[in-house]
Amino acid sequence: MNTKPAFSGLHPIKIKNARIFYDGSLQNLEMLFDQEKILQIAPEIEVDDDVEIIDAKGLAVLPGLVDTHVHLREPGYEAKETIAAGSRAAAAGGFTTIFAMPNLRPYPSTVETMEPYLEKIANDAVVRVIPFGTITDDEAGRTPTDYAALKKLGIHQFSDDGVGVASGDVMQEAMKKAVEADVLFSCHTEDMNYRAPGASVHEGPYAKKNGWIGIPSACESAQLIRDLGYARQIPVAYHADHISAKESVEALRQAKRDDVNCTAEVTAHHLLLEDRDVQDAMEKMNPPLRSHEDRMALIEGLEDGTLDFIANDHAPHTMEEKTRPMDKAPFGIVALETAFPLLYTEFVDRQKRWSLKQLLEWMAAKPAKRFGLEKTGELREGYRPDFFLADFDRTYTIDPADFESKGKNTPFGGWTANVCVMQTWSEGRPVWTRKDK
């Protein structure tokens, strides 16, 4: 069931015999919804005979996840991913809202390029896809984009992901214009002065042992510190992408003490892996997997609120690209279909370090709030009917061949997950159902 069914008007549906994640915990409740909103959540709900009943015995109903950092590659790089395949991958991972990064061809920097992109999303996506505009025209780092013009199309978030805005003068000008337009910046910080040609992994003893050229933490943290300095003077809504280094965590911690309007994300792979796990280009991503000390700082930063939520930097590539030598292969891994199962397995089920409530806040409620999504990220009456059904009694082995994504580039093949996404609903419609072998 990978397509949206055609409902004529509103079609009320009740889920029974499920454990519904409501008010912070899994509870034996029923849920009534249509294609506009959740109508009722209660221990028992009486309905008319014309209401469809779904028996979800043995399953949990969880709020649809929100990922604010996804690469769908279309237009321009359809061999890697498409809007259709990437949105199915999102649904397969429990995500019902994703934000699509703008490093595309053509870049969605103008109304003329954004309008057909929005139309393509409307036609092809099975979950809600919200595109970013660019911070600078075509991510060239020279001229701020016309944020006000794109905002009229509903674009409230902007990023030059894949590159940092190198010029401090341009960044300050862009921030001032962003304040005027009341839009949010989601920033990839990377000072290329710190990155040598062919650099592929974290700079440290492990890189040296393997003969790889390393990327120092300052490549990320120096530009982040610069931007946070500007944000102390210019009240821009600033979000830091895929934080990887302990120096970045500390810079964000201090900025929050100073009441800077900033938030930050961390990826599942930076929480689960570190530089010593790198074997080949399948573990190559930007920013790179860093040291054990860095990974612990990320986990602790997420737990204490310095880092605000989890986003995954889903970055599909062809296998031909990812099997090249380390210095020639592109950065990035796919993540949408593995993030929730692996984070739940490691931190909730095995370590007992996090609660399910914490994980869902970091993967749904908190990103929804920061990115201005109303009535999203929780299961409550009146909220969007976006959710997924999960089986917490089912264990499975991750096999990239089963991915909905065109990208199979993951370091997690063969890993075991102790929760299984069974079905995903977007706007009260089933958009993806697991197909068992």
Residue 373: CB atoms within 10 Å: 20
Strand pairing report for 237-240 and 429-433: unpaired
> Residue 17 carries which DSSP code?
E
Query: What are the distances in angstroms from CA 69 to CA 43, 73, 309, 315, 339?
Result: 36, 12, 11, 9, 13
| Torsions phi, psi for 285 (to 5 deg) | -145, 165
What is d(CA 101, CA 184) in angstroms, rounded to the nearest whole number? 14
The H-assigned helical ranges of 8-82 are none
| Residue 313 appears among annotated catalytic residues | yes
Q: What is the spatial distance between Cα 122 and Cα 131, in angstroms, rounded to a whole number?
A: 11
Task: Compute the distance between CA of residue 217 and CA of residue 194 in angstroms, rounded to an integer.
Answer: 9
Do 227 and 190 form a contact (C-beta atoms < 8 A)? Answer: no
* Distance (Å, whole) CA 432 – CA 363: 19
Q: How many H helices and E strands in the chain?
A: 13, 20
CA 91-94-98 angle, to 5 degrees, is 65
> What's the rounded Cα separation, in Å, for the pair 82 and 113?
17
Torsion angles phi and psi, residue 334, rounded to 5:
-85, 150
- Are the C-beta atoms of 236 and 183 separated by less than 8 Å? no
Q: Who's near 420: CB < 8 A, 6+ residues apart?
A: 341, 390, 391, 394, 395, 396, 434
* Catalytic entry in 138, 241, 313, 386: 313
Cα separations in angstroms, 351 against 329, 345, 348: 34, 8, 6
What positions carry a catalytic annotation? 313
